[in-house]
Structure formats: C-alpha cells, structure tokens
Chains A and B, each alone.
Chain A
Amino acid sequence: MSKVVDHLKGVFSGDAQADRVVPPSGFTARLTSFAAATMAFLTVFALALSMASGRLAMKWGDELTHSSTLRISAPAGQMADQTAAALRLLETTPGVATARALTSDEQRALLEPWFGPDLPIDALPVPQLIEIQETDEGYDAAGLRLRLQAEVPGAVLDDHTRWRKPLQQAAGRLRMLGWVSILLIGATTATMITLAANAALAANAQVISVLRLVGARDDYIAQAFVRRFTLRALAGAAIGTAAGLIAVMILPAAQEKGGFLTGLGFQGMGWFWPLLIPPLAAIVAFFATRAAARRALSELT
C-alpha cells in the first residue's frame, strides 16, 4: 500500500521530464476529460437524489414512528365522555408518552384545505382526534385496540404503520438506487478510462519500445501514462462537479411543505460530499490506468 501512496504522490508532485516522454495525445485526452466531466455531473445528481431521499426517509420515520392518532366517532352527547375515557386509558398505557385531544381550532385547521375557513365544526359530526406521542419503546398496538374496544367503543386507533412502512421503504429504496447509480457511474468511468488508456498505450507502442531500449523500468513508463490520465480525470471531474452543483443550486428551492422533488439538493454538511467527486474520479483513473499500463507492458517482450 505504501507503494501505491508513493505512486499517488508521484502523480501530484510529478516529474516534468517523465511527463514529456508521452506525446501530448489530443483526442483520447479530451475524451477522458469529457467522460470524467459527464460522469461527475451525473454523480452530483445521483448524490442529491440519495441524500434527499435519505432525508425524506428519516423525516417520515421520525415524525411517524413516534406518533399515532386515535379517532373517536360518537354521538354528540357521548363525545366528551368517550374522549375523557380514552385519554384516561391512554395515560395508563405503557409506551404512551403524551396523549392530547386536538382543540376544535386545530381540527378546523386540518379540515380547512378541504372545506374552507368558515366551517362550523361544532355543528358537524366530525370525529374527535387524539394525538398520541409514543416513547422510544412504543406501545403494544394490538393490546391497546383490545382495551379501547372494551372501554371506548367509538375509538379507532391509527398507528400509521399501514402507510408509513411503504413510504419509508420507497424512500429507502430510492436512496439505495442513488448509491447503486453512483457505483455504476464509478465503474463506467473506470471502463472508459481503461479503454482510453489502452488506446493511448497502443498508439504509443514506439514510445514504449524506445523507453524500454534505453533502460526505462515499467513503473517509469506506466507512471507517465498514469499521471496524464489521473490529472485529466481530476480536471474533467472538477468541471463536471461544478456544473452539476450549479444545476442543483438553480433548481427551485425546497419549500416548507414541499414535496420530494423540490427537496432535491444538498443541505448543510451535504454540500461537502460532492467535493469528494473529483478526487474519487482521480483515484479511479489512477487505478484503471495503472492496471491497463501494467497489463500492456507485461505483454511486451
């Protein structure tokens, strides 16, 4: 490993002379930079997707895991009694941190988007909602349902698992998809750089044979190519990452109640991750070119 580190150092400290032994090859060079730039651009989006869905999964998880709702439907006369009974029952249920009946103002706010602001909520047979905050351990939903059935017949417990699970799962999958994309992009980058390096090595067969003739070791020759491709991948990826970040920045900003799409972007420390893309691209290029050069050189006599 220390040998690899030495090589990496060599790539950046550089030996201008060693660099010149490989002719400046215009076309494969530009292809390498272009490929690295494109892949970096795509990686920024895959990263943004992963992080946004990660945040989403966490948010849903956090908000929903620790809260559930009890809905009480009862004739107007019994509503207050049943609510009080339910609250008493909940207070003695292990795993319930707090239970609170929503006020009619709060209920009106919840219904407002559907019925408008002036809803006479007291005159309507609207169920009473009780918001339950769970402790970290949570409560036994099945047990609670049984007790409610006995003591508060009008109560329906909604512990959100039914729709929380699939949503959380979807967000988790989306995040994984993002990471898989990043891995695939990395592998594709390695493939393209390997192809470009092979083309460059084949095009420079004479250079290699002259270098061997005058006593150059394989490492010296490989280094000249590796340095070239690593620096190109680094530069290309830096441009691609910058372009990707600008594109993400000019996406509409996430709004308070924004859905998933408007939340696509980086937040806080998240801005740090894309900065790793250019060095990672350089590392991929380093190993891809080194493997290609070693293979090509070992096949020579």
Chain B
Amino acid sequence: MAYGYGGAELLSDISLKLSPGSFHFLTGPSGSGKTTFLKLCYGALTATSGEVRLFGQDVRTMNRDDHALTRRRIGVVHQDCQFLDHLPIADNIMLPLNVSGRDDLEDVANLKELMGWVGLGKRGDAYPPTLSGGERQRAALARAVIMSPDVVLADEPTGNVDWEMSQRLLQLLIELNRMGKTIMIATHDMNLIRAAKNNVQARVLRIANRKLQLAGADL
C-alpha cells in the first residue's frame, strides 16, 4: 500500500496487518507521516495504490454508511481534537453512543468512571473551548474509548499532558488491550514507549524513508 498527497509519495511499500488484541506504537520524525498512516487505518484517507482492508472489507468498496459503522468500531484520538463546542464535555464524550443510538444507563455509569479515570470527573459540565490542551486530549481519549471499540488509534495522545497523567492514560489503553482491544499509539515520546514495554507486549513501528519498519528490541 502507498499514499501521497498529490505530489511525491509520502508512504511507500507499506504492508502491515494489525492482529486483533495487538498493541503497537508508531514513531517517526515529525512530518514523516504518522498522522497520515493513522488516517489510512480508519479510512479517512484512501491509499493511492494498493489495498487497505478494515475488518476484512476493502476501503474502496465501502460507502459512507459503511465508513460510519466502521468508525463505531475504531476509536480515534486526533492530534488536534475537535468537539462540539456548544455541548458540555460530558455530552461530547457520550456522543459516539448517541449517534449510534446506544445510550442506556449502563453506559452512563461507564461515563462517570471513565471521566474519573482521565481526570475530568469534575469538568463534565465545562464546555470544550474552556478546556486546556491536556484536558481536551483526555476528553478525546475518553470519547474514543466510550463505545468500547475493537480498535483504538491515538495520535500523540500524551502530547500535552504531564508525565503522571500520561501514565494514567497509558494505563487505560493497556487495560483496554488486556480486554482484547487492538491499540495503536503514534508518539515520539520514547519514555512512554519504554514505560509501556514493562506492562504490555508492545511492538514498535517506525516510519523512516517513507517505509514502515519494525523497530528492534533496542529500546
């Protein structure tokens, strides 16, 4: 599979299969294409050549509703997380449940626990524009996992949070992984990767020279 934004190819000869329940880190210098790669993984971009399959279905054959349904199975944390600014953060975190018509009481209980875990327990009524960068990232992570999706893709989820909080967020993702979810985290925070490696069997993918390589055990 390959991808380019019109000009030269940004990613070439990529071949990868994320097996269910795996835990991956994605690293590489800024501008190397980590975000682009994640977008290919959830179907926001279509490969310029080659084939991408999501849950066995070729992205090229998916219609808009197929994409919507796929996104309910893939929780995404964007680098620049966006929210519905006119709704309180708790409603924003619940949004994936609402749009898929699933907002029962059990989920409301989950919401409380989840918000507590990401340190937003007391911020539920705040509006997104009043949150700090770190709070937004935590809220975005909570929103990505509230549906208990099969796959979580997180793009620099710990970019704006302190070390302690990044450990908490990592812990949350590790817990989800233990429940069988597939996790992929794009980051260039080597300390985070090292910390994770003590707790989970994580593989590290590195983008270099337009290629995706499996980094050795040298970390």
Contacts and interface: CB of A to CB of B under 8 A. Distances in A.
B65 interface: yes
Contact of B78 (A213, A215, A217, A301): A213
Interface residues of A, number: 23
Given A23-B86, A220-B99, A214 B69 contact: no
B103 A17 contact: yes
Contact of A210 (B64, B65, B72, B84): B84
B211 interface: no
A164 interface: no
B153 to A, nearest CB: 11
A165 to B, nearest CB: 60
B190 interface: no
A216 B68 contact: yes
Nearest to B93: A214
Nearest to B69: A215
Contacts of A17: 98, 103
Contacts of A301: 44-45
Interface in A1-35: 17-18, 20-21, 23-24
A145 interface: no
Interface string B64-86: 11011111100010100011111
B143 interface: yes
Interface in A283-298: 297-298
Interface residues of B, number: 27
Contacts of B99: 18, 21, 211, 214-217, 220
Contacts, number: 64
B96 interface: yes
B84 A23 contact: yes
B72 A215 contact: yes
B71 A207 contact: no
Contacts of B45: 301
Contacts of A215: 68-72, 96, 99-100, 147
Interface string B37-64: 0000000110000000000000000001
A92 to B, nearest CB: 81
A220 B147 CA distance: 18
A190 to B, nearest CB: 25
B87 interface: yes
B91 interface: yes
B71 A209 contact: no
Given A207-B84, A218-B68, 11 more contacts: A23-B85, A210-B82, A212-B68, A213-B76, A214-B95, A214-B96, A215-B68, A216-B100, A217-B68, A217-B99, A301-B44
27 contacts: A17-B103, A20-B87, A20-B91, A21-B95, A23-B84, A206-B82, A206-B85, A210-B84, A212-B71, A213-B71, A213-B76, A213-B78, A214-B95, A214-B99, A215-B68, A215-B72, A215-B147, A216-B99, A217-B64, A217-B68, A218-B64, A218-B65, A219-B65, A220-B99, A297-B64, A298-B64, A301-B45
Interface of B: 44-45, 64-65, 67-72, 76, 78, 82-87, 91, 95-96, 98-100, 103, 143, 147
